[in-house]
Amino acid sequence: MALSDTQTGRAPEVTSGAPPVLRLRGVTKWFPGVQALRRVDFDLRPGEVHVLFGENGAGKSTLINIVAGALRPDAGEVELRGRPVQFRSVHDARQRGISAVFQEFSLVPGLTVEENLFLGAEPTTGALINKPEMRRRAEEALRRLGFPILPRMRVNRLSRAEQQMVEIAKAFRTNLSILILDEPTAALTDRETDRLFQLVLDSKRQGVGIIYITHRMNELHRIGDRVTVLRDGGRVDTLAVRDATPEKLVELMTGRKIEAFFPRIDHRPGEELFAVEHLTAGTLVHDVSLTVRAGEIVGLAGLVGSGKSEVGRACFGLEPIRGGTVRLLGRSVGKPTPGAMLGAGLAYVPPDRRTEGLVMERSVRENIALSALPSAHFSGRVLLRRRSERAICLRLAQQLRLVPTGIERPVALFSGGNQQKVVLAKGLTRNPRVFVMDEPTTGVDVAAKTEVYTFMKDLVEREGAGILLISSDLPEILHLAHRAYVMHRGRLRAELGRAELTEQAVLSHFFETTTTHG
Amino acid sequence: MADAGLATVERRPRVGTALLRLLRRTFVHLGVLPLLLVILLVGFGTWEPRFLSRQNLFNVARQATYLTVVSMGQMIALLTGGFDLSVGVILAMTSVVLAKVMASTVASDPTAVGLAIGLGILAGLGAGTTMGIVNGIGVAVLNVSPFMMTLAMASIAFGLALFMTGGVPVYGMPSQFGATLGFGKLLGVPVPVYVTAVLVLGMYVLLNWTRMGRYFYAIGGNIKASILSGVSTRWYLFMAYVLVGFLASVGGVMLTARLETGEANIGAAMPLRSIAACVIGGVSLRGGTGRLGSVVLAAVFIEWFENGMNLVRIQSYLQMVVLGVLLIFAVVMDEVRHRYVAGMRDG
């Protein structure tokens, strides 16, 4: 994800004084028992990217839902091009040039791309749908956006990233004056992200105002002009992006001052804890060797699809191993399985907590305890030791500052950041020495990210653990890892020591180049 | 978050009275069942005085045991994210095998009544559990969807049971079998109630105090997360269907004792009724959630409701209509409840 600013160039300065295309004044919204927005002022100028920043639950979603016409404010005014408006529906807002791409897709899986693009606005001749016309216009729209998708494909056959593209194409379909993007890059590869950003820049030039929600610092700096920080439903501040340092933003978001976004982690490498030699696994990973020692964080970088994720999965027994060896705490592991690896002292943090990490409907306690039930702290010969279980889970929840601390609540009710803390707490129950963390901060707000980083620092410095950090977030690798490996097309491209670990060095190994490296 | 919201100067629009809020909270935590029970008690209680008589309550208690036991099995299948459509024929198979073995043993030696009863019960339980084992292999090892596996099993076993009996009831069981396990009473309480109480207790311990129970919930909630947590999901899925088979089989033994004949079509309504009991008791059809107490209560509720309808002379055909409507109502209310819960989310 992390590409340097130099690649796309800095966003041009917004001509100040241009009248805002959208203005919110004192907008307030109640949900049963919760005030989701309290007297929020917000304005959007034509041709700017206005980033909304805030913890999960700060009110970002409510705000964009009001702008998109999905929710009506309980108090306050919405002005469109200087005139007060009240949107009756999403459709109404859309008619006035406001389009939104939400995180939850609004596509019909069984229909084709073109049918989805024109759903509710099909070109017709008489009573019949004008299919050739629809095909032509769909092709044109997709070509203009540069998305390699066939209009006649059924949506449920597309990858998540492709579905995201259709969703974006749908938003670009109408005459746009305001575009709302809610974490649009979450499912996209770097290349697709580049294309999306190019589109955003094009739209800016045409005077479209863009509201952009992201948790990613580098995206903020790459395409943002101004940023508004929300906290507990209220607007804290609006500032120019060039003044928005990570530390400043976290301070605004949380109301707490932090020393550094990325903590400094001491590097005192000890004995080798984990080693992979000539690993060939699944369909992608080929001849990969790496080591992790006690007291260090080892980065594993690479583009989406480079095989870095599969290395972690293979070591945990989730991808079939076709060659090579895995060694944990000096002992060679024949055929890894999740159960055996957990028992031998390795914890794996999966990249997608919803699909692989957590049982969403069950309580925090049951989730934390799930992988540790066979151990003596959690169960006797026949029965579970529920008192001990509760005590251990409560301690871990407090250690990771779960908010709220109620460990009997279903995980589904917690915010993304706190769900991630549950995943991490779960990893601690078996007292592992080695952690394989695959994208440990995806979909986590910036404040929770700093907590995850502090957690990693404590593991390495106090417990002498070794961490293999698999991440697509380049700053994470650059700031946290003591050493890093870079993968490309299933093979190791390079190993970089701390001194060589720069953005340029890592990026140069991401893409097709002819340089060979040790 | 909620506290912060209430502490602000702005006043939220008043939603309702304290009573309404209490009702809503009960609904979110316990589902629609408490409401149904109140309607049942007040409605039939005032309509028909016999409904709450001591005699009738014992009658309902006995009548409810069969559905309760089978529903507990069904609950396990639902928890793991599947369901079992073959519980009815497991009942039937148990009944037929048990009756045949008992009748032939007692025919060859009329004095060996105890032996005949013991052998018969073992054979019946063995037959029912074996079907559970086959279901378990299909679902856990061969990855057949629970719907297809148990639907096919229902056809296979029903066919076998009819074939074995030629479609006619099996007679000739010793009368002591029915007299004890069917109609017997101990301290004034019907014997099947004791058996069921023991099974409920065992289920409670299994679901809440053992690893296996915890894993049933986890597998149904998210099988991938369970695999990543080192749970051998195949083994526990297999065991789930074995347990369903066993519990349905116990239901079959008790029901056969009550009917005093072995019959191939005794469980025909069981799949629907047991799933209805689970759903009314708040077990999620998506797997992963549900409380044992509510399921037991819901099974009793269904029997009691039908008993009430019998007392006020509602035709049995119409009773089927009512049960279906009730089931849809429960599912709709479950959806409503889900929406309430989703509204309670932090993020």
A82-91 pLDDT, tens per residue? 889 998 888 8
pTM tops 0.80? no
The sheet carrying A22-31 orders its strands as: A34-44, A22-31, A75-80, A83-85
Assign A13 a pLDDT band (cuts: 50, 70, 90). very low
**Nearest-angstrom CA–CA distance, A36 and A62:** 7
- pLDDT number for residue B102: 92
What does the block give as tokens for B152?
Answer: 């096919």
Strand partners, A129: A124
**Least Cα separation, residue B274 to chain A (angstroms):** 23
For residue A186, give the CATH number of its domain.
3.40.50.300
For residue A339, tell me if it sits in a domain.
yes
Q: Do A359 and B231 touch (CB under 8 A)?
A: no
| A193 and A473 Cβ atoms separated by less than 8 Å | no
**Closest of A271, A279, A350, A273 to residue A315, by C-alpha:** A279
Q: Chain A partners of B227 at a C-beta cutoff of 8 Å?
A: 338
Q: Is the pLDDT of residue A5 over 60?
A: no
Q: Do A362 and B217 touch (CB under 8 A)?
A: yes
**Residue ranges per domain, chain B?**
66-267
Main-chain phi, psi angles of A233, to 5 degrees: 85, 0
Same domain, A221 and A250: yes
Helix (H) or strand (E) holding B185: strand B185-186
Same domain, A162 and A205: no
**Closest of A376, A352, A357, A379 to residue A368, by C-alpha:** A357
Helix (H) or strand (E) holding B77: helix B54-79
Main-chain phi, psi angles of A405, to 5 degrees: -75, 0
- pLDDT number for residue B41: 86
Same domain, A87 and A139: no
**Nearest-angstrom CA–CA distance, A428 and A495:** 28
Largest separation between any pair of C-alpha atoms in chain A? 77
Amino acid present at A275: A
Q: Do A342 and B230 touch (CB under 8 A)?
A: yes
Of the candidates B8, B10, B288, the beta carbon closest to that of A362 is on B288
Over residues B210-238, the mean pLDDT reads 94
Same domain, A197 and A169: no
For residue A441, tell me if it sits in a domain.
yes
Same domain, A371 and A495: no
Q: How many domains does chain A have?
A: 4
For residue A248, tell me if it sits in a domain.
yes
For residue A413, tell me if it sits in a domain.
yes
Same domain, A161 and A277: no
Same domain, A295 and A407: no
What does the block give as tokens for A334?
Answer: 């024949």
Main-chain phi, psi angles of B171, to 5 degrees: -105, 180
Of the candidates A35, A371, A426, the beta carbon closest to that of B5 is on A35
In this structure, what DSSP letter does residue A14 have? P
Over residues A116-145, the mean pLDDT reads 84
Q: HSE on the CB side for B25, CA within 13 Å?
A: 8
Residues in A 400-429 with any Cβ partner in B closer than 8 A: 410, 412-416, 418, 426
Q: Chain B partners of A389 at a C-beta cutoff of 8 Å?
A: none
Same domain, A82 and A189: yes
Q: Which of A228, A257, A286 is the last residue of a domain?
A: A257
Cα A256 to Cα A247, A251, A253: the distances in Å are 10, 5, 8
Amino acid present at B14: R
Q: Is the pLDDT of residue B21 over 90?
A: no
- Residue A71 sits at the chain B interface (C-beta within 8 Å): no
**Nearest-angstrom CA–CA distance, A329 and A358:** 27
pLDDT by residue (tens digit) across B318-334? 988 988 898 888 888 87
Same domain, A77 and A193: yes
**Nearest-angstrom CA–CA distance, A383 and A380:** 5
For residue A13, tell me if it sits in a domain.
no
**Distance, CA of B50 to chain centre:** 27
* Interface mutation vs chain B, best among A337, A352, A373, most B CBs within 10 Å: A373
The 10 Å Cβ neighbour count of residue B345 is 14
- Residue B15 sits at the chain A interface (C-beta within 8 Å): yes
Q: Do A361 and B347 touch (CB under 8 A)?
A: no
For residue A10, tell me if it sits in a domain.
no
* Interface mutation vs chain A, best among B24, B229, B233, B338, most A CBs within 10 Å: B229
Q: HSE on the CB side for A58, CA within 13 Å?
A: 27
pLDDT by residue (tens digit) across A179-228? 999 888 876 777 778 878 888 888 888 889 999 998 888 888 889 999 99
**Least Cα separation, residue B215 to chain A (angstroms):** 8
Same domain, A470 and A484: yes
Q: Do B217 and A359 touch (CB under 8 A)?
A: yes
Buried b (16+ CB within 10 A) or exposed e, B235-247: ebbbbbbbbbbbb
Query: How many inter-chain contacts (A to B, CB under 8 Å) are there?
Result: 123
**Nearest-angstrom CA–CA distance, A181 and A161:** 15
pLDDT by residue (tens digit) across B138-161? 999 999 999 999 999 999 999 999
Q: Where are the beta strands (DSSP E) in A414-500?
A: 434-438, 466-470, 483-488, 491-496
Within 8 A by CB and 6+ apart from A266, the residues are A295, A460, A461
Over residues B38-47, the mean pLDDT reads 86
The 10 Å Cβ neighbour count of residue A105 is 17
pLDDT by residue (tens digit) across A347-383? 999 988 888 899 998 999 999 999 999 888 898 888 9
Strands A272-281 and A285-293 turn out to be: antiparallel
Q: Is the pLDDT of residue B12 over 70?
A: no
Amino acid present at A209: G
Same domain, A291 and A390: no
* Structural domain boundaries, residue A501: 259-345+432-518
What ipTM does the predicted assembly reach?
0.82
Same domain, A438 and A304: yes
Residue labelled with tokens 């019907």 = B190
Q: Chain B partners of A340 at a C-beta cutoff of 8 Å?
A: 230
